[in-house]
Structure 1
């Protein structure tokens, strides 16, 4: 039950959002009937049609919703293998073989919303409501950086205690928390939609990417799982949330859908239409796309019987189709998924993963304690330490990356996308991945990870020398500087 103060804050903000929606002149770009029709009209595609679309995808030009629907509706298992191979090839062409690492940091869980699927909903009397103090936040960051993390995505409930001023204060605290080489170099945000002037404050605080998931693009389902009377019930407000972020100058934005609320094929096309509309208006699509699946949460019965639950096989298919459809975007695979499935899905186009994650409020400093479930939004399936994940990535010949250079060198928004679309971004990202991974090996790695990591770096140096000999020589010099004690070097 919301307190009087919480209800007053909700009502005041809802009034302002209603006024915004009444004045918003942009047209809702999600047409449910059109999406359903596209899926229906492209059922049972001929094999040659699928192969023609894959040929186009390999040109790195992206796909139309109709073309994506053809791939989504393919029933030929041999052709799915070709789709998987194409997705892998596209990711390699644009981003190379590097995987970016980050960690989530949950700062607050009180929330005025009552989303049916969420452990943070205000009616969940099993939730232990917590907001990190600045001292607790500092301890969380110290634990994360002592493990080697450099990139965070920070998460808040939508609530008056987590207003934009509080968000800015926590961002500043995270950047200010340093201990020798231990530091966070880039903070991304997953939080509620804001007004333009609020986004401007967030930008001033120095964030990287602002991430908002529509959850489901299907209007009726959205209405059903986000009951009236909560701020999240405003579909249009949320749909254009990242358009407002772009207006405020935040040119790296991130979209996503919560898979399992409605038909996964519909949600993939919703993501594609979202990416298209951002690019149409601002000349730059989403920096990343996420595709989390619904997972259990404490005292959340909605999650027990899901008519649209996404199987592992369908999950692989949708990841590959997103990569073929939006080749330039980063794609995020989280610790919601099991280690086994993550290993199978990463080759299908994934470019970012979290690792060593804990999503309980104050979870990193309390990691050894029992009973953290009532502080979590949902439950994770991959709880391995960061070092174990890095070792496995090296076994598969990936270059782990903690790079934040793009943000600090101004390679964001349109500039980043121009590099990505031309397949040139890997010439910055691969050497910077190597430099940041070298730092990790020097400062944090276990002996076994250091041994295999050095082998991977040396192999990539030799490959890079064939493609970019001058840059490879500079990279070798910078690696020597890191061995000599220098840190935070990048192209």
Structure 2
């Protein structure tokens, strides 16, 4: 994957954008949906000139989404079980140097949280999250997954990058998938924000989705953290990564998220602001370029903005999210990883979806089977 990205290290984005014309972009929009677009067709959809065609892109994105996904939105929730982290990432509330209260849930506490989420919230799809630390051993993760599989049809992890063999062990324990964000695809910029710990290894992190796919994990989600590198370049390179994965690992289902930096304890402010309009354009470009990829929107975004994104290509939606360890049923005495903007309950989000003609999906039947 690194060799593919190297092709664009010296690429002149501005020159490419200057040579585009609106008729080229309109033709790309028209042809999208039947297959994955090539690299430069995708990049054209991210261009400043394409921003004048968002309405056309939105109509096509809506048609593509209904063709491949219907009007179903999969509901999931995050479960944080540890905020102990060995990394020093300048944008994260869990970074090693932050003097926050650290917490590492016991198996009994994990089960209590699982029971609350599954029975009180009605959620059947969970993302298990930790800080990136050696304390989150394979045995700890393996036992945690076995506990969660008693209550959830789908269990996905967002933890430190693991080896293929480690993913295979967790797959045997019932793991369904992995979320891993590269955070920043521009290699030199990446080193600016990751100062200590295993996360400083850009290449090992970049190859994590590949190792997960080789371990037969079904659901793999990637993305960049908008606010670190150049937004258009980051959106483009994340799409190139997604395309590589889709084309090479046919047994896995791939999705992409579009997280923007949010307020967190002692974190940096974003250096590259991604406006709502830019965000919408990136989402539309992903849908048009990768018609069968999932697109996840979390509670990082405000409720009104999230709701307006629904017709544009979204397939997965977090609900009732808590980003602190033990925050659902245990005492709320640890710092959240970041602040959320959509504080609605699961029931409120379900009501909103139904009002707008969408069917909320709680159980991933393939995962259950």
Q: Under a length normalisation based on structure 2, what TM-score does the superposition of the two structures give?
A: 0.94
- Superposed CA offset, 1:372-405 (max 9, x none): 5x52111100111100011111111111101211
2:102 paired with 1:122:
no
CA distance, structure 2, for counterparts of residue 399 and residue 45 of structure 1: 39
Q: Taking structure 1 as reference, are residues 394 and 63 closer, same or farther at Cα in structure 2, changes over 3 Å only? A: same
User: What 5-or-longer segments of structure 1 have no aligned partner?
Assistant: 1-25, 177-182, 410-491
Alignment of 1:243-322 (within 5 A): 243-283=210-250, 287-300=254-267, 302-303=268-269, 306-322=270-286
The Cα RMSD (Å) is: 1.9
Contact 1:44-1:74 at 8 Å conserved across structures: no
State the Cα deviation string for residues 332-358 of structure 1 (Å, max 9, x = none). Answer: 000000001101112110000000111
Pair 1:45-2:20 in alignment: yes
The correspondence for 2:304, drawn from 317, 340, 347, is 340
1:381–1:390 Cα change, 3 Å: same
* Larger relative helix fraction: 1
Alignment partner of 1:67 is 2:35: no
- Show the counterpart of 1:31: 6
- The aligned residue for residue 87 of structure 1 is 61
Alignment length, in residue pairs? 368
Q: Which residue of 1 aligns with 2:148?
A: 174
C-alpha distance in structure 2 between counterparts of 1:337 and 1:87, whole Å: 20
Task: Say yes or no: does 1:104 pair with 2:71.
Answer: no
CA contact (8 A) 1:278 1:286 kept: no
Cα pair 1:35 1:269 within 8 Å, conserved: no
Q: What residue number does 1:226 align with?
A: 194
- Any residues of structure 2 matched to 1:447-458 within 5 Å, and which? none
Q: Please, which moves more after superposition, 320-329 or 283-292?
A: 283-292
Q: Structure 1 residues 341, 57: CA separation in 2 closer, same or farther (over 3 Å shift)?
A: same
Q: Which whole-Å CA distance do the structure 2 matches of 1:36 and 1:261 have between them?
A: 19
Asked whether the 8 Å contact 1:104–1:357 carries over to 2, the reply is: yes
Query: Is the 8 Å Cα contact of residues 213 and 255 (structure 1) preserved in structure 2?
Result: yes
Asked if 1:323 corresponds to 2:287, the answer is yes
In the alignment, the residues of structure 1 paired with residue 160 and residue 214 of structure 2 have an alpha-carbon distance, to the nearest angstrom, of 16
Q: Give the distance between the partners of 2:188 and 2:251, measured in 1 at CA.
A: 29
* 1:82-140 C-alpha deviation (Å, 9 max, x unpaired): 01111111111100111000000001110110011011110011x21001111211121
Residue 178 of structure 2 is matched in structure 1 by: 210
CA distance in 1, matches of 2:323, 2:314: 21
Asked which structure has the greater CA Rg, the reply is 1
Normalised by the length of structure 1, the TM-score is 0.72
Greater Cα shift, 329-338 or 280-289 = 280-289
Residues 239-294 of structure 1, C-alpha deviation per residue, up to 9 Å, x if partnerless? 11111122222243221111111122111211221122223433467521111110
Aligned mate of 2:153, from 185, 207, 210: 185
| Structure 2 CA distance for aligned equivalents of residues 257 and 285 of structure 1 | 20
The change in CA–CA distance for 1:224 and 1:55 in structure 2 (over 3 A counts) is same
Secondary structure of the corresponding residue to residue 256 of structure 2: strand
Cα distance in structure 2, aligned partners of 1:35 and 1:48? 27
| Pair 1:352-2:316 in alignment | yes
**Contact 1:99–1:398 at 8 Å: present in 2 too?**
yes
Question: Contact 1:157/1:191 (CA < 8 Å) preserved in 2?
Answer: yes
- Residue 299 and residue 262 in structure 1: after superposition, are their counterparts in 2 closer, same or farther (change >3 A)? same
Q: Do the aligned residues in 2 keep the contact of 1:105 with 1:153 (CA within 8 Å)? A: yes
Does the 8 Å CA contact 1:43/1:74 hold for their aligned counterparts? no
* C-alpha separation in 2, matches of 1:226 and 1:91: 36
In the alignment, which of 124, 130, 133 is matched to residue 156 of structure 1?
130
What's the CA shift for 1:407? 2.2
Whole-angstrom distance in 1 between the partners of 2:271 and 2:209: 30
Q: Is the 8 A contact 1:196 1:247 kept in 2?
A: yes
> Are 2:243 and 2:290, in contact at CA under 8 Å, matched by a contact in 1?
no
Question: Match of 2:342?
Answer: 382
After TM superposition, the structure 1 stretch with the greater mean CA deviation from structure 2, 242-251 or 392-401, is 242-251
Q: What SS does structure 2 have at the residue aligned with 1:299? A: coil
Gaps of 5+ in 2: none
The answer on whether the counterparts of 2:257 and 2:296 sit within 8 Å (CA) in structure 1 is yes
SS for the counterpart of 2:149 is helix
In the superposition, relative to structure 1, how do residues 262 and 31 fare at CA in structure 2: closer, same or farther (>3 Å)? same
For 2:362, which of 370, 378, 402 is the aligned residue?
A: 402
Structure 2 residue aligned with 1:416:
none
